[in-house]
Amino acid sequence: MDSGGFLLCPLFLLFLFWCIISSESQFIRYNTTSTIVPGKLNVHLVAHTHDDVGWLKTVDQYYVGSNNSIQGACVQNVLDSLIPALNGGMCMHDEAATHYIDMIDQTTLGHRFIKDEFGITPRIGWQIDPFGHSAVQAYLLGAEVGFDSLFFGRIDYQDRAKRKGEKSLEVVWQGSKTFGSSAQIFSDAFPENYEPPSNFYYEVDSDAPIVQDDINLFDYNVPQRVNEFVAAAISQDGRVHALYSTPSIYTDAKHAANEAWPIKTDDYFPYADRVNGYWTGYFTSRPALKGYVRLLSGYYLAARQLEYFKGKSASGPNTESLADALAIAQHHDAVSGTSKQHVANDYAKRLSIGYTECPLLNISYCPASEADFSDGKNLVIVVYNPLGWKREDVIRIPVANENVVVRDSSGKEIQSQLLPIPDYIHGLRNYHAAAYLGVSPSVDPKYWLAFSAIVPPLGFSTYYVSKDKQAATISDRHIGYRSGSPNDTFEVGLGNLKLIYSGKEGKLTQYINRKRKVKESLDQTYKYYASYGDDFTANAQASGAYIFRPNGSSIQINPNGRSPITVLRGPIVHEVHQQINSWIYQTTRLFKGKEHAEVEFIVGPIPIDNGIGKEIATEIKTNLTSSKTFYTDSNGRDFIERVRDYRKDWNLEVNQPVAGNYYPINLGIYLKDNSREFSVLVDRSVGGSSILDGQLELMVHRRILNDDSRGVAEALNETVCVSNKCTGLTVLGKYYFRIDPVGEGARWRRTFGQEIYSPFLLAFAESEGNWGDSHVTKFSGIDSSYSLPENVAIITLQDLGDGKILLRLAHLYEIGEDAHLSVKSSVELKKVFHNKQINKVTEVSLSANQERAGMERKRLVWQVKGSSREPQVSRGGPVDPEKLIVELAPMEIRTFIININQ
């Protein structure tokens, strides 16, 4: 252990000793005051516990348990002194499956609560339980909230062994290529996960002797246990000074030592705790919950904006319950997918309370749009755009018949297209409406109605759907492949982008964008990894909710009997429908005016008749010479270079060539060579990799029959039940892909990636008269002549009450990522708040609990060993109180409290 070693004991031990020592003296009193003694090994006794906000029990169930002693008066009296050591968020969030906006929101919610209730500003990051650690956590949720240090327990067993040998568990972490040392943080990975010394583990099922403090009982053992602990410390070094400590005290002691520390860059993914034990399965586990969290995350961002425009109401509907539910859902056993099933159900139920507008629209169930318009009624669709720039996108809603017309807010008819709803969608819709909503749909819509909506920045547009005398444009339909067909190839696409399919083989073969001079072979398939089961041998390690351990190579899923490909063509979208087998369906869409492909997949129920769990992946092969290298995002923010079978920090012993090369993906994954970039973006967090050069794969669903022995004690075998009849979970999701000339892919990844996170928000109403006579039909929340720069997004616009507004602006590009957009940009607050009188603008920390300037002055500065190549760090300057213009440099997020006249 390093000088000034770090020992951990459970919180119960500290509290018990603290209370007893102060109240009676019938044993030897040791000096345990929080002071450092020079010349000795200062052993910092940092007692801790953590209560998962849902894991084996739900959030509420954890209020009841076998040991409630930490709720006693003695503990409550010392609570104030311990709070500075806390993360301070509403939970200890996951770092793999969380989006950076959600991480910021849940931390802000907790930090502001602690500031309001206790007047305290946390300064220590305490992420001891998440299953790997992200670069964004280090620089954004560490340095940018004002933390002086970040402590965590779990790093790869090979990495830990090397660092213990080199005494380099403690590092200065530079998690950002863009910000380098300006956003670094002191970090400590514990020597043995977060375990205490042997014989001092006080979990309920531990064999360690419990401290019995009642002096009237025969097994009273306080003196004995204290002496045993001191003896254990002395056995390591004869010059020991043990002190009750906190991470804050320990951090200050480390800083006062005036030493230099090794540099750590990038992240701590993937995490393995032993041979064959790669915690990369949870990157995809419970994909439906992951999709729901992401859907409601974008909804929450938009809802807060609308709440600000309307004015926050203390008594009426508000976003607070959704805020709490989303914060809890970021927990490292929630969105990660590693809780028990009934706990996952509880997370989803909490989220659903804050969202009720057509919750099953993705599977064509939306009663509002399926109404009969024969009585002269109109369906009113209000389309809200949460982004700061004007936007055009396609709306798709189910309708009961073809005699419909779409008009804009001025009453002008606009182009629309009807797409027949496939039979498999009808079955999915009816079953899940009964399962999730408890209803049996009375209408069976025939078509998707698609039309293009144009919406101003931070604003809405209104569209009307009504009955018409003639049918709308129905998509041309033909069979691209039928068994025995002589057709060799066919093409789809309305503009620059064309996809070429082989009719003979029944699959995609080529991607062409003539404008960008891109022509590339593509081969897209589905496959599965058979899950390794528990064979009760010494080498046993099953796949499960946490662990991904395939039992051999992947197995290709070949189409059953070569089902025909159905092609739909119209003026707005081309669609290619494929039935891969009896439980995988896929629709590929190319939209007018867009230069990417959208792939919607339906996977499930995954068959388990042969008693083997299966982990389903989609794979796309190209001819790019990627040289083992690919790139994945960190929490939807920075992209990090990955090299197959390689770790920068140690010589990797490869024992799992697939699972050990999987990484978390929240925004996207891409690879490149000297001429092209191939990018794939996702609609939720998933696991993915490049197992072969030129190839990318995403794991989209998992159904496993064994537990992986990491505590959840339950197989990841999700089902959906109606009237006691249960089937395996079916997952509907999307991914998007595009090929660009090298150096040009970032623009699509960043701009369209923000559109994926913040989709149009739809609201429906029914009207018999002229809706526009009594309602505003078009609105922009900012100056009508203004829009934000393409490289800047508003990620928070929230009414805090009392004339205070929380505003967060994010630059979307890394340094050097794009030749034109990786530059400083400016936002004019007077135009963003064009109808408000701004009295004061205060820049605050990322979690909005202290002024930014004060935070920067008091943050500790750490010395590092050696020299690292530093970027040309740039940050926006102070906001002029008259001009009110905010500058943002690449990757910068700036947070403000804005006071306005009420």
Give the domain CATH number at 456.
Answer: 2.60.40.1180
- Please check whether residues 412 and 488 belong to one and the same domain: no
- Please check whether residues 822 and 770 belong to one and the same domain: no
431 or 281, higher pLDDT: 281
Query: How do residues 484-516 score in pLDDT, each as one tens digit?
Result: 555 678 999 999 999 999 887 888 999 999 999
Could you tell me if 112 and 78 are in contact, meaning their C-beta atoms sit under 8 angstroms apart?
no
- Please check whether residues 803 and 713 belong to one and the same domain: no
CATH number at residue 596: 2.70.98.30
* pTM, two decimal places: 0.92
- Please check whether residues 762 and 714 belong to one and the same domain: no
Query: How do residues 860-893 score in pLDDT, each as one tens digit?
Result: 999 999 876 777 788 999 999 999 999 999 999 9
d(CA 902, CA 900): 6
User: Does residue 205 form part of some domain?
Assistant: yes
DSSP string, 462-512: EEEEEE-SS---BPEEEEEE-TT----EEEE-SSSEEEEEETTTTEEEEEE
CATH number at residue 137: 3.20.110.10
Could you tell me if 518 and 511 are in contact, meaning their C-beta atoms sit under 8 angstroms apart?
yes
User: Does residue 96 form part of some domain?
Assistant: yes
- Please check whether residues 384 and 273 belong to one and the same domain: no
pLDDT at residue 204, rounded to an integer: 59
User: Does residue 679 form part of some domain?
Assistant: yes
User: Does residue 396 form part of some domain?
Assistant: yes
- Which of 261, 278, 295 lies at the terminal end of a domain, its last residue? 278
pLDDT category at 317 given cuts 50, 70, 90 is confident
pLDDT at residue 358, rounded to an integer: 73
User: Does residue 669 form part of some domain?
Assistant: yes
- Please check whether residues 75 and 89 belong to one and the same domain: no
d(CA 378, CA 380): 6
Task: Identify residue 214 by its one-letter amino acid code.
Answer: D
Could you tell me if 550 and 615 are in contact, meaning their C-beta atoms sit under 8 angstroms apart?
yes
Query: How do residues 539-554 score in pLDDT, each as one tens digit?
Result: 689 999 999 999 999 9
- pLDDT above 90 coverage of the chain, percent: 65
User: Does residue 614 form part of some domain?
Assistant: yes
- Which of 236, 261, 278 lies at the terminal end of a domain, its last residue? 278
- Please check whether residues 601 and 649 belong to one and the same domain: yes
Looking up tokens 């140690």, which residue turns up?
650
- Please check whether residues 818 and 724 belong to one and the same domain: no
User: Does residue 286 form part of some domain?
Assistant: no
- Please check whether residues 373 and 397 belong to one and the same domain: yes
User: Does residue 419 form part of some domain?
Assistant: yes
- Please check whether residues 213 and 254 belong to one and the same domain: yes
Report residue 523: phi and psi, to 5°: -140, 110
Looking up tokens 């490149």, which residue turns up?
672
**DSSP code of residue 655:** S
- Please check whether residues 600 and 708 belong to one and the same domain: yes
Cβ neighbour number for residue 499 with a 10 Å cutoff: 20
Nearest to 703, CA basis, from 166, 341, 431: 341
- Please check whether residues 138 and 242 belong to one and the same domain: yes
- Total number of domains constituting the chain: 5
Cβ within 8 Å of residue 300, ≥6 positions away: 105, 319, 322, 323, 326, 354
pLDDT category at 32 given cuts 50, 70, 90 is low
- Which of 742, 773, 791 lies at the terminal end of a domain, its last residue? 742
Domain that holds residue 274: 41-50+84-278
